[in-house]
Amino acid sequence: MLLEPEWALQDPQDYIRTFQHTIPDVLSMSGVDPQDVIGIGTDFTACTMLPVKKDGTPLCNVPEYRRNPHAWVKLWKHHAAQPEADKINTTARQLNQAWLHRYGGKISSEWFFAKTLQILDEAPEIYQAADGLIEAADWVIWQLTGVEKRNSCTAGYKAMWSKREGYPSNDFFKQLDPRLENVVDQKMSRSIDPIGNKAGELTAQAAQWTGLTPGTAVAIGNVDAHVSVPAATVTEPGRMVMIMGTSICHMLLGREERTVEGMCGVVEDGIIPGLFGYEAGQSGVGDIFAWFVNNCTADHYLREARQRGIHLHQLLEEKAAVQKPGQHGLLALDWLNGNRSVLVDVDLSGLLIGATLGTKPEDIYRALIEATAYGTRVIIEAFEKNGVPVDELVACGGLPEKNKMLMQIYADVTGRSIKISASRQTPALGSAMFGAVAAGSRAGGYDTIFEAARHMARLKDEVYRPIAANQKIYDRLFAEYVRLHDYFGRGENNVMKTLKQVRDQVN
């Protein structure tokens, strides 16, 4: 079946197959004795959600619904629920919903209730038939333990739940759509476990799938970006974790709930129990560099890279790294995939200014990297302006491993030291840490994530420190970036939106 544009589904059987094949393979390849595995932690993409029957059976596994795409798992990057997200935002603003401030004033089409509302709009029979709507992060824990538990991370960041106020009111849901009035009580749960809790123990069946020991402790569900924070040694305020890959997630802890412009969310217990977890993000980073390399780098660069047996990215980095800041004369806005924080606007687009007939691909490559660093600095300054300090940066993900120039530029632009997570699999390490916490010290694990972080998480020795001379130039260029950012991003000149409108009208 051909899906509509913007759809993205998964098959929940693939998750079970991972238990059945990947875990046994890892055990056998590593030679680890299953008896030595004292706890299990997981992390998932989010919001990735599915409709289920009362016993947890995915609706897509029920023959009569198999051919309905709404019966399947909607992956995080399913982007077809934008009209529903728009309706939620409009309604929330009209009804003056306080929770909206926790999400930078706007919820995303990727999130739980946008996807839920799309099911209700387009496949009311699926909505009807579903006894539950659940994050896949929680569904896999249910499959491992036999008990349905919902975690505070996805509930908070993706389903507008908070520890103090719970979900939005039934009245809000009723105003959104009368059929949705009792969605929380009918299809979800008001019982939310904080991150760090134990969900239950491995069932006999799950033990058989995995080759692990029945009764092994299982941590409640968690999310890939969030689980990385303690794995990057961060369990306290002031140190921002940047998960740097195709996009960047910025994770930060605070002792109080503050409203910070354009956050993806602030959730108590959302990352580390007892603290407020802030999440911000840039929707395009490595993706932008890849776009440039794949589309806009002349063939003689590719030939040179091939001759030297290096990747085009390395060649461009090498040519750009010898430049001083400001030398290429370019400035870019890093919005080729929209802007997540702080503007929360998918309709923004890219800008490159300053090109001359002498501009080279490595100049543009460096300017794009700098633009993403300026974007990170805007986020940092938004936090600080609202009383959430950011003293140091800790990076993990693919980019810090690959591009030293990029890391130095981030240090110079932000004026902050950047440390690097020692693990190349930071999310997996974080999951293991929460597994150790679920097991507890009596089983040989740890009683808190703080303890686990002290013993299991490590940073590399290398630190990127800002270079004063570079900072000075970048401060000047950043002021120009902010001016363009505000001019094109805050409504003074909406040409980016006009261009997309014209594009959509003629297509």
Which of 83-91, 158-166, 283-291, 454-462 is the region at the interface with a copy of itself (rule: CB under 8 A)? 283-291
Does residue number 337 form part of the binding site for a copy of itself (CB under 8 A)? yes
Binds a copy of itself (CB under 8 A): choice among 266, 267, 477, 489? 477
* Residue of 367, 431, 424 whose CA lies nearest to 399: 424
Candidates 74, 106, 239, 328: give the one binding a copy of itself (CB under 8 A): 328
- DSSP-derived pairing of the beta strands 390-396 and 238-244: parallel
- 378-453-46 Cα angle (round to 5): 55
312 versus 437: smaller Cβ distance to a copy of itself = 312
The answer to whether residue 498 forms part of the interface with a copy of itself (CB under 8 A) is: yes
Give the residue, chosen from 29, 298, 322, 468, that forms a contact with a copy of itself under the rule CB under 8 A: 298
Among 42, 116, 297, 403, binds a copy of itself (CB under 8 A): 297
Q: Work out how close the CB of 40 gets to a copy of itself at its nearest, in angstroms, rounded to a whole number.
A: 36
At 23, give phi and psi (nearest 5°): -65, -50
Q: Is 468 in the site for a copy of itself (CB under 8 A)?
A: no
Phi, psi (degrees; rounded to nearest 5) at 102:
-70, -15
* Paired tokens of 174: 């009723």
For a copy of itself, the closer of residues 1 and 357 by Cβ is 357
80 binds a copy of itself (CB under 8 A): no
Which of 254, 361, 400, 445 touches a copy of itself by CB under 8 A? 361
Of 265, 325, 427, 430, the one binding a copy of itself by CB under 8 A: 325
Q: Does 299 bind a copy of itself (CB under 8 A)?
A: yes
> What are the structure tokens assigned to 461, written together?
């020795």
Interaction between residue 239 and a copy of itself (CB under 8 A): no
Which of 288, 373, 418, 438 binds a copy of itself (CB under 8 A)? It is: 288
Q: Is 329 in the site for a copy of itself (CB under 8 A)?
A: yes
Instruction: State the Cα–Cα distance between residues 260 and 270, nearest whole angstrom.
Output: 16
Task: Determine if 489 is a binding residue for a copy of itself (CB under 8 A).
Answer: no
- Least separation in angstroms between residue 492's CB and a copy of itself is 10
Closest CB to a copy of itself among residues 424, 472: 472
d(CA 486, CA 21): 50
In whole angstroms, what is the distance from residue 502 CA to residue 499 CA? 5
Measured distance CA(442)–CA(440) in Å, rounded: 6
Q: 253 or 496: whose CB is closer to a copy of itself?
A: 496
Least Å distance, CB 299 to a copy of itself, is 3
d(CA 379, CA 149): 33
List, as one string, the DSSP characters of 49-63.
EEEE-TTS-BGGGSG
Structure-block tokens of residue 314: 């390395």
496 binds a copy of itself, rule: CB under 8 A? yes
Restricted to residues 438-457, the positions that interact with a copy of itself (CB under 8 A) are none
187 near a copy of itself, judged by CB under 8 A: no
H helix or E strand, kind and range, residue 245 = none
- Does 286 sit near a copy of itself (CB under 8 A)? no
Our finding on whether 409 is near a copy of itself (CB under 8 A) is: no
User: Looking at beta carbons only, is 178 or 358 nearer to a copy of itself?
Assistant: 358
* Full DSSP string of 415-484: TS-EEEES-S-HHHHHHHHHHHHHH-GGGTS-SSHHHHHHHH--EEEEEE---HHHHHHHHHHHHHHHHH
Strands 331-333 and 459-464: unpaired
Beta strands in 88-164 (DSSP E): 132-135, 150-151
Report the C-alpha gap between 84 and 278 in whole angstroms. 25
55 binds a copy of itself (CB under 8 A): no
211, 224 contact by CB (below 8 A): no
Which residues sit at the interface with a copy of itself, rule CB under 8 A? 284, 287-288, 291, 294-299, 302-303, 324-331, 336-337, 349-357, 359-361, 364, 473, 476-477, 480, 483-484, 487-488, 493, 495-496, 498-500, 502-503, 505-507
